[in-house]
């Protein structure tokens, strides 16, 4: 243990703790900007590049960055002397001298950590006028938007991308004033090995990295009298969007969200969880086939486009392993533009499918050329939870005061299995509920597969299917996925089925979710909210979903049928 | 082995140079699992630029794969050092030192004179690919300021008026013969 004094107050901290951590322990707040510690998500950024957390340490000539300076025995630290406050203010003003003053029109306004600091410091003038960075904006991916002029070189995105996700798409390019964080050779993102998982966006303190917006396109569709406009909402949205309206974290607002979307003018409000149930029927069928034939194992889930991109770029020889099932978003889009369009007598071209996702990679997925089963785009535009909350606010919808309404049929009736698709482990758990009953013919006594839930890097379970046991594993975060894939490559993997979600914790922590400053608590609360919905559902197994059963009877035949293959499967080895 | 890079596209650079580079890397005995493998990256980039003349993307990807590091990281290192270049340079690379000693002795005028005579700016290559001009900071020969280097040859106490004379030797391609040091 180390004893030190901060602002004349004694504090004892464990060895290796920083001055910042010591100060936090006695509720002394030191402002930070580049520093970020996401705890169990294992993302720590202490590049000490912004120096906003500068403090005075007795006996040292220079100010020390509190985030990266270890506490030492007998140290005397001052956090709010004239020298410290003056230096912090100048540092902030220098950062602002090369930052656009366009807060009013900035996508990150009110969620920007630089803006918050400027507000807290009472900055009221642009003290330093000097050279400004001028880099082009990169919107090539249609998923992420990179605006390097707003970058403060904190390197959080780099730490997230390279160390946590192990995607290695970003580097500090150049040096001195012209340095910027970019893909190799300053390539556009679309030409890099970026997976569009969007975790960099969720840690960027400014608007240097944001999502590619489709708000205008969505409004244009809604106000086009010649189009019928339907919307699908991903499971993770209902557990998070309430946060944007001051509703306590972890409150599921499913019914209010449906009512809000109707008031915005959508002709029908569908549930992506319904598509998730459909995915499970197709995927369970594929799992049973591949496992009983013992070929091409393990089967990897294919719901997460960030993860699929990761396989494509970094493990190309494993590209035949993911299930061929389209993701729930694309299945819902396809069925809406075929089955549903036929049913209501609208041409697919005149039906617009908007999809609300917690995700940026979904924007990329929807844009992929092969996803136009009906001739028209399966999903026309993808907006994030953040974008939807802005649109709701613009049209005067306050979720707090909405009544609870039900999704529209036939693409709205979902089981508990479809809802837990939004958390890590959920896809596998949903699949196991169906696989177990289909293979054994017996009813599952307890539908909760606790072993695959939670936060551990890799969670595993062995399921007894009577004729054979299956070994399954779950990982979220691409860094954890890499470990599993390397074992498959080496031939040491003992698993039959593996679920991967690109974002740590799953879709509840997706790159399109509301920004959160107490990230871990927030994600856990959102996770809990989805499990509670599942708990309270009467039907908790996808194959018991009456509207899915009806869809097969009326339209698709049976899981894995020729028609199902045509509509609901794709090739991921593009 | 950890792979972090997209698959390299078709190569256009000479395979024999790749073979030479690989032989050089082989002798370094780098294990892809060794955390210290990155320490030798700069050394290899030097060798590669010496062999190929520049460090284009396909070469970067090759080196990244050999080191089991990301293309982004290799690219980041290259972008940091002025010495490394990703575009081809002239057959004769003129480097004008703009370090403090050279600068106060009129190196900027020397640079301008080379630019005027060749009709290109620093960072550019002449249309025939013979000459390129760059500036650098200090070659460690401050006693000879102002200094320029052409490929591996050092010229000291260069005055603007000498630019034309120096270039003439190269223009008639008598390289290989002794070129007098301007003193």
**Pseudo-torsion of CA A33, A211, A273, A340, nearest 10°?**
170
Query: Which helix (H) or strand (E) element contains residue A394?
Result: helix A385-394
Q: Which of A303, A325, A359, A503 is catalytic?
A: A303
Which of B79, B81, B87, B123 would you mutate first to test chain A, the one with the most A CBs within 10 A? B79
For chain A, the structural domain boundaries read 2-97, 133-211, 216-568
Q: Are B126 and B132 in contact (CB under 8 A)?
A: yes
Residues whose CB falls within 8 Å of the CB of residue A18, separated by 6 or more in sequence, listed in order:
A46, A66, A67, A68, A69, A70, A71
Q: Which of A113, A158, A243, A283 is catalytic?
A: A283
Residue B52, token pair as written in the block: 């190929």
B65-111 pLDDT, tens per residue? 888 889 999 999 999 988 898 988 888 889 999 999 999 999 999 99
Q: Which of A158, A244, A282, A286 is catalytic?
A: A286
Common-topology check for domains A133-211 and A216-568: no
Q: Which of residues 185-204 of A touch B (CB under 8 A)?
A: 185, 192-193
Residue A20, token pair as written in the block: 């910042």
A106-132 pLDDT, tens per residue? 999 999 999 999 999 999 999 999 899
A467-488 pLDDT, tens per residue? 899 999 999 999 999 999 999 9
Residues in A closer than 8 angstroms to B72, CB to CB, are 162, 168-171, 183-184, 192
A522-537 pLDDT, tens per residue? 999 999 999 999 999 9
B21-49 pLDDT, tens per residue? 999 999 988 887 787 888 889 999 999 99
pLDDT average, residue stretch B149-155? 89
A304 is catalytic: no
Pick the CATH number of A133-211 from 3.30.70.20, 3.40.50.1970, 3.40.309.10, 1.10.1380.10: 3.30.70.20
Contact B3 A168 (CB under 8 A): no
Closest CA to A36 of A120, A130, A155, A199: A155
Mean pLDDT of chain B: 85
- Position A5 scores a pLDDT of 97
Contact B70 A315 (CB under 8 A): no
Per-residue pLDDT of chain A (574 residues; tens, 9 = 90+): 999 999 999 999 999 999 999 999 999 999 999 999 988 888 999 999 999 999 999 999 999 999 999 999 999 999 999 999 999 999 999 999 999 999 999 999 999 999 999 999 999 999 999 899 999 999 999 999 999 999 999 999 999 999 999 999 999 999 888 899 999 999 999 999 999 999 999 999 999 999 999 999 999 999 999 999 999 999 999 999 999 999 999 999 999 999 999 999 999 999 999 999 999 999 999 999 999 999 899 999 999 999 999 999 889 889 889 999 999 999 999 999 999 999 999 999 999 999 999 999 999 999 999 999 999 999 999 999 999 999 999 999 999 999 999 999 999 999 999 999 999 999 999 999 999 999 999 999 899 999 999 988 899 999 999 889 999 999 999 999 999 999 999 999 999 999 999 999 999 999 999 998 778 899 999 999 999 999 999 999 999 999 999 999 999 999 999 999 999 999 876 5
Residues of chain B with pLDDT > 90, as a percent, come to 45
A370 is catalytic: yes
Residues in A closer than 8 angstroms to B35, CB to CB, are none
Which CATH code is given to the segment(s) A216-568? 3.40.50.1780
Residue-wise burial string across A142-160, b where 16 or more C-beta atoms lie within 10 A, e elsewhere: bbbbbbbbbbbbbbbbbbb
How far away is chain A from the Cα of B163, in angstroms, using its nearest Cα? 31
A269-286 pLDDT, tens per residue? 999 999 999 999 999 999
Contact B2 A171 (CB under 8 A): no
- Position B170 scores a pLDDT of 82
Q: Does B176 have pLDDT greater than 60?
A: no
- Position B7 scores a pLDDT of 58
Residue A79, token pair as written in the block: 């956090």
How far away is chain B from the Cα of A484, in angstroms, using its nearest Cα? 12
Contact A174 B60 (CB under 8 A): no
Which CATH code is given to the segment(s) A2-97? 3.10.20.740
Residue-wise burial string across B123-146, b where 16 or more C-beta atoms lie within 10 A, e elsewhere: ebbeeeeebbbbbbeebebbebbb
Residues whose CB falls within 8 Å of the CB of residue A164, separated by 6 or more in sequence, listed in order:
A41, A42, A43, A199, A477, A478, A479, A504
Q: Does B179 have pLDDT greater than 60?
A: no
DSSP-derived secondary structure letter, A77 = E
Count CB atoms within 10 A of the CB of residue B93. Answer: 17
Contact A486 B79 (CB under 8 A): no
């Amino acid at each position: 243990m180390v004893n030190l004094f901060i602002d004349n107050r004694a504090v004892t901290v464990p060895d290796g703790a920083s001055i910042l951590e010591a100060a936090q322990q006695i509720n002394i707040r030191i402002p930070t900007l580049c520093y970020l510690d996401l705890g169990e998500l294992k993302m720590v950024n202490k590049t000490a590049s912004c120096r906003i957390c500068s403090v005075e340490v007795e006996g040292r000539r220079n100010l020390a960055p509190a985030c990266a300076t270890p506490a030492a025995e007998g140290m005397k630290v001052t956090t709010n002397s004239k020298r410290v406050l003056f230096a912090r203010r100048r540092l902030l003003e220098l950062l602002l001298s090369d930052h656009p003053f366009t807060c009013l029109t900035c996508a990150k306004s009110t969620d920007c950590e630089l803006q918050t600091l400027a507000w807290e410091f009472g900055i009221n003038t642009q003290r330093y006028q000097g050279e400004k960075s001028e880099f082009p904006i990169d919107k090539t991916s249609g998923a992420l938007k990179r605006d390097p002029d707003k970058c403060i070189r904190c390197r959080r995105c780099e730490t997230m991308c390279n160390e946590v996700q192990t995607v290695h798409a970003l580097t500090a390019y150049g040096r001195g004033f012209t340095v910027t964080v970019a893909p190799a050779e300053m390539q556009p993102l679309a030409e890099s090995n970026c997976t569009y998982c969007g975790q960099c966006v969720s840690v960027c303190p400014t608007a240097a990295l944001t999502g590619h917006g489709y708000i205008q396109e969505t409004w244009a569709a809604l106000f086009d009298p010649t189009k019928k406009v339907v919307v699908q909402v991903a499971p993770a949205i209902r557990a998070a969007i309430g946060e944007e309206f001051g509703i306590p974290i972890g409150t599921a607002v499913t019914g209010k969200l449906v009512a809000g979307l109707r008031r915005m003018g959508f002709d029908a409000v569908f549930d992506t969880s319904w598509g998730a149930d459909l995915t499970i029927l197709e995927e369970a069928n594929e799992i049973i086939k591949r496992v009983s034939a013992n070929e091409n194992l393990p089967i990897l889930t294919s719901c997460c486009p960030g993860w699929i991109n990761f396989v494509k770029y970094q493990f190309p020889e494993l590209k035949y392993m993911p299930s061929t099932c389209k993701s729930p978003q694309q299945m819902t889009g396809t069925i809406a533009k075929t089955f549903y369009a036929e049913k209501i007598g609208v041409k697919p071209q005149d039906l617009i499918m908007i999809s609300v996702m917690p995700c940026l990679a979904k924007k990329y997925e929807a844009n992929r050329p092969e996803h136009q089963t009906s001739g028209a785009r399966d999903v026309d535009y993808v907006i994030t939870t953040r974008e939807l909350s802005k649109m709701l606010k613009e049209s005067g919808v306050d979720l707090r005061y909405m009544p609870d309404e039900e999704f529209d049929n036939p693409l709205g009736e979902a089981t508990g299995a479809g809802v837990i698709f939004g958390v890590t482990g959920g896809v596998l758990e949903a699949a196991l509920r169906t696989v177990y009953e289909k293979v054994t013919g017996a009813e599952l006594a307890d539908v909760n597969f606790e072993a695959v839930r939670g936060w551990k890097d890799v969670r595993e379970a062995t399921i007894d299917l009577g004729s054979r046991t299956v070994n399954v594993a779950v990982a979220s975060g691409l860094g954890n996925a890499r470990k599993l894939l390397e074992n498959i490559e080496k031939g040491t993997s003992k698993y039959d089925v593996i679920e991967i979600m690109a974002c740590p914790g799953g879709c509840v922590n997706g790159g399109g979710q509301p920004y959160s400053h107490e990230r871990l608590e927030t994600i856990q609360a959102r996770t809990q909210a989805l499990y509670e919905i599942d708990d309270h559902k009467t039907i908790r197994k996808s194959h018991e979903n009456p509207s899915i059963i009806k869809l097969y009877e009326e339209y698709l035949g049976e899981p894995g049928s020729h028609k199902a293959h045509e509509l609901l499967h794709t090739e991921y080895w593009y | 082995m950890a792979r972090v890079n997209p698959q390299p596209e078709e190569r256009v650079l000479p395979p024999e140079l790749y073979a030479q580079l690989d032989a050089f890397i082989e002798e370094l005995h780098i294990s892809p699992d060794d955390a210290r493998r990155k320490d030798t990256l700069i050394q290899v980039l030097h060798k590669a630029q010496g062999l190929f003349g520049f460090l284009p993307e396909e070469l970067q990807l090759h080196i990244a794969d050999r080191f089991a590091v990301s293309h982004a990281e290799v690219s980041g290192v290259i972008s940091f050092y002025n010495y490394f270049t990703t575009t081809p340079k002239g057959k004769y690379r003129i480097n004008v030192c703009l370090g403090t000693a050279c600068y106060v002795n009129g190196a900027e005028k020397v640079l301008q004179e080379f630019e005027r005579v060749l009709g290109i700016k620093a960072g550019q290559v002449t249309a025939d690919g013979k000459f390129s001009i760059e500036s650098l900071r200090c070659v460690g020969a401050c006693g000879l300021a102002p200094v320029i280097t052409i490929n591996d040859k050092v010229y000291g106490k260069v005055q603007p008026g000498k630019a034309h004379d120096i270039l003439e030797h190269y223009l008639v391609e008598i390289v290989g013969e002794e070129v007098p040091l301007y003193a």
